[in-house]
Amino acid sequence: MHWDREVDVLVFGAGMGGMTAALVASLEGLDVLLCEKTDQVGGTTSTSAGTVWIPGSAQAKRDGVPDSIDDARRFLEAEIGPRALAQREAFLDAGPAALDYLDARTEVKFRAPPRHPDYHSNQPGRALAGRALAPLPFDGRLLGKDFALVRPPIAPFMVLGGMMVGKDDIAILLKPFASLNAFAAAAKLMLRHATDRLRYRRGTRLVMGNALVGRLFYSLKKRNVPIAFDARLAELVNANGCVEGAVVGIGTARQAIRARRGVILATGGFAPSEKLRAEFMHDLPVAHSNAFAGANGDGFSAARAAGAAVDAKHTSPAFYFPSSLHKDTVYPHILLDRAKPGLIAVNSDGRRFVNESDSYHDFVEGMFRANAATSSVPAWLICDRGFIRDYGIGLVHPGAGNRQIERYIADGYLKHGETVMELAQRIGVDGKNLLRTIQEHNRYAATGVDEAFGKGGTEYNQFNGDPANKPNPCLRPIVEPPYFAVAVYPSTMGTCVGLSTDGDARVLDPDDRAVGGLYAVGNDMASLFRGVYVGPGITLGPALVFAYRAVMHIARG
């Protein structure tokens, strides 16, 4: 084999998994090259909320919400049973150390918000806070002209031509005159954004996934870690069951690059790939993806071709959002509308089928279950005029005026009716049932108890509701015409099916033997949660921890 270039560690994919791996490899004194297929870093990570689920961290203790690994272990046992036990222990063991390592030596830093519950708050060992950590905001100006190399969030997650809005900013921006502090904070945000727009194409105050990517990229730059852009993994080179390097398409050329110590795949799984979705999710009605289009199975397929085994034994083959569709946008309904009081979801029968304030993944699982008996794809989110005023629905912002509403009605995104029957007719659902469903829901709103699906019944439900709404933060009557509806479809945010790996992220063959020299992290690796969505940050958390473990394994030799 003629090699054009040699390094110690060759990493593919500049998202959470790959950037962390390259950063740790550099810190461990290894000669590393990070190859990214596109002309920007970030992948799906840059459009994410950036939350990492890592139990028992020093950061949680520091921020006053300590968490215990034993509790997390009990929680995972209740959620997933004995599956993926070795990987789980490796994850729990290395999580706090990986966070401390990055915190001490890089710009990758997290905080623990005072409240961010696990998704099934009825399970033993669940946490209300401390496991889900958020990246600290990042000042994109520190990257200089390389700020343009950070993939931006999807357009609906920004306002005013490119200003990122974190969860904490929403209340301030919606009600700037609520208090002196709110006014000062809102004015500061606006001023910063106005100044940014004089020099940059979008705001440089980065939050959530963009802050995480900005911090990783800045840390890589500070250490002069080489990143090859437009450099695509074409195929792995293996000899005698051992991966020795890869053929990389760089622009129109091809280079054979030898990896003396290991190749790390972090190309983001295969959520957007119709072909692979058809192979692993063929019995489910999922036609859309929220993942970055470039993360479409390259690493997964190259590893399979090199003899890797696939782990497809998951409760669900992927993690899902309910998403509405508008032109090219697949808009995920994560937390801003479904759990709020005054919204229900119905299927084509005009009946509810799920607790609307459960997690996005559980909501979609509910859609699949209902769809087996009655057409529930799409499902319809239903609300009234007052709901849009207070919370917005999908792309329609809170406080939207009639002009914005009419624009979304005109292009078909938003359906409306002066009466419930008129709305039902426009969306093609059974009108009498829809009327009955709303009347029943309104009775539950009066008592505060949703006898049908328990909306607002868990800590997680209430976390995303409106604390000012009594007696139940997730229930309020739907009574103020006109009535509105938005169609939602299941979409994949990321894949759970992935390459079979061990506790050090080594890729395994069908006999559970490590394929020498090959590691997989992020969504290229099968999810250790085996298709159960236990809490916020369960793809980025393991991506960070297993990138760290993979490199430490390589460094140990």
The answer to whether 259 contacts ligand FAD (rule: CB under 6 A) is no
Nearer Cβ to ligand FAD (45/59)? 45
Instruction: Among 543, 545, 550, 551, indicate the residue that binds ligand FAD (CB under 6 A).
Output: 543
- Report the C-alpha gap between 406 and 427 in whole angstroms: 17
Instruction: Among 8, 27, 30, 48, indicate the residue that binds ligand FAD (CB under 6 A).
Output: 48
The answer to whether 348 contacts ligand FAD (rule: CB under 6 A) is no
Nearer Cβ to ligand FAD (51/204)? 51
Collapse the DSSP code of 188 into the 3-class scheme (helix H, G, I; strand E, B; otherwise coil) and give the result.
helix
- Report the C-alpha gap between 519 and 547 in whole angstroms: 9
- Strands 5-12 and 32-35 come out as parallel
Q: Is 154 exposed, middle or buried (0-12, 13-18, 19+ CB in 10 A)?
A: middle
Torsion angle of the four alpha carbons 472, 475, 480, 485, in this order, in degrees rounded to the nearest 10: 160
Applying the rule CB under 6 A, the residues between 57 and 76 that interact with ligand FAD are none
Kindly indicate which of the ranges 89-97, 264-272, 385-393, 458-466 contains the residues binding ligand FAD, using the contact rule CB under 6 A. Answer: 264-272
Kindly indicate which of the ranges 2-10, 22-30, 192-200, 535-543 contains the residues binding ligand FAD, using the contact rule CB under 6 A. Answer: 535-543
Which residues 6+ apart lie within 8 Å of 315 measured at CB?
Answer: 530, 531, 532
Instruction: Among 38, 324, 348, 469, indicate the residue that binds ligand FAD (CB under 6 A).
Output: 38
Q: Cβ 157 to ligand FAD, closest distance in Å?
A: 8
The answer to whether 295 contacts ligand FAD (rule: CB under 6 A) is yes
Strand order, beta sheet including 110-111: 52-53, 132-135, 110-111
Q: Cβ 438 to ligand FAD, closest distance in Å?
A: 30
Token look-up 């960070």 returns 544
Nearer Cβ to ligand FAD (284/538)? 538
Q: Which residue is nearest to ligand FAD (CB)?
A: 15
Q: Cβ 235 to ligand FAD, closest distance in Å?
A: 10
Kindly indicate which of the ranges 74-82, 173-181, 265-273, 383-391 contains the residues binding ligand FAD, using the contact rule CB under 6 A. Answer: 265-273
The answer to whether 414 contacts ligand FAD (rule: CB under 6 A) is no
- Asked if 536 contacts 336 with a C-beta cutoff of 8 angstroms, the reply is no
Task: Supply 75's token pair.
Answer: 């929680």
- Name the residue among 196, 157, 49, 193 with its Cα closest to residue 110: 49
Instruction: Among 10, 25, 30, 37, indicate the residue that binds ligand FAD (CB under 6 A).
Output: 37
Applying the rule CB under 6 A, the residues between 496 and 525 that interact with ligand FAD are 522-523
The answer to whether 150 contacts ligand FAD (rule: CB under 6 A) is no
Q: Cβ 238 to ligand FAD, closest distance in Å?
A: 16
Applying the rule CB under 6 A, the residues between 436 and 465 that interact with ligand FAD are none
DSSP assignment of 489-539: EEEEEEES-EE-B-TT-EEE-TTS-EEEEEEE-GGGBPPTTTT---STTTT
- Name the residue among 27, 39, 47 with its Cα closest to residue 213: 47
Which residues 6+ apart lie within 8 Å of 309 measured at CB?
Answer: 499, 500, 508, 509, 510, 512
Nearer Cβ to ligand FAD (203/332)? 332
Nearer Cβ to ligand FAD (341/541)? 541
Instruction: Among 26, 238, 267, 347, indicate the residue that binds ligand FAD (CB under 6 A).
Output: 267
- Report the C-alpha gap between 99 and 544 in whole angstroms: 8
The answer to whether 540 contacts ligand FAD (rule: CB under 6 A) is yes
Q: Cβ 146 to ligand FAD, closest distance in Å?
A: 15
How many chain residues interact with ligand FAD (CB under 6 A)?
A: 42
- Report the C-alpha gap between 349 and 343 in whole angstroms: 17
Whether residue 322 is preceded by a cis peptide bond, meaning omega within 30 degrees of 0, is: no
- Report the C-alpha gap between 505 and 542 in whole angstroms: 10
The answer to whether 245 contacts ligand FAD (rule: CB under 6 A) is no
- Report the C-alpha gap between 167 and 524 in whole angstroms: 29
Nearer Cβ to ligand FAD (75/292)? 292
Applying the rule CB under 6 A, the residues between 312 and 341 that interact with ligand FAD are 332
The answer to whether 206 contacts ligand FAD (rule: CB under 6 A) is no
- Report the C-alpha gap between 463 and 167 in whole angstroms: 12
The answer to whether 13 contacts ligand FAD (rule: CB under 6 A) is yes
- Report the C-alpha gap between 4 and 253 in whole angstroms: 11
Q: Cβ 432 to ligand FAD, closest distance in Å?
A: 37
Nearer Cβ to ligand FAD (487/540)? 540
The answer to whether 50 contacts ligand FAD (rule: CB under 6 A) is yes
Which residues 6+ apart lie within 8 Å of 256 measured at CB?
Answer: 1, 2, 3, 4, 5, 237, 245, 246, 247, 248
Kindly indicate which of the ranges 34-42, 74-82, 219-227, 511-519 contains the residues binding ligand FAD, using the contact rule CB under 6 A. Answer: 34-42
The answer to whether 49 contacts ligand FAD (rule: CB under 6 A) is yes
Instruction: Among 537, 545, 546, 551, indicate the residue that binds ligand FAD (CB under 6 A).
Output: 537
Which residues 6+ apart lie within 8 Å of 403 measured at CB?
Answer: none
- Name the residue among 459, 493, 445 with its Cα closest to residue 323: 493
The answer to whether 51 contacts ligand FAD (rule: CB under 6 A) is yes
The answer to whether 280 contacts ligand FAD (rule: CB under 6 A) is no
- Name the residue among 239, 245, 247 with its Cα closest to residue 263: 245
The answer to whether 12 contacts ligand FAD (rule: CB under 6 A) is yes
Q: How far is CA 42 from the centre of its chain?
A: 13
Instruction: Among 245, 398, 473, 494, indicate the residue that binds ligand FAD (CB under 6 A).
Output: 494
Q: Cβ 44 to ligand FAD, closest distance in Å?
A: 3
The answer to whether 47 contacts ligand FAD (rule: CB under 6 A) is yes
Q: Which residues bind ligand FAD (CB under 6 A)?
A: 12-18, 35-38, 43-45, 47-51, 232-233, 266-269, 290-292, 294-295, 298, 332, 493-494, 522-523, 537-541, 543
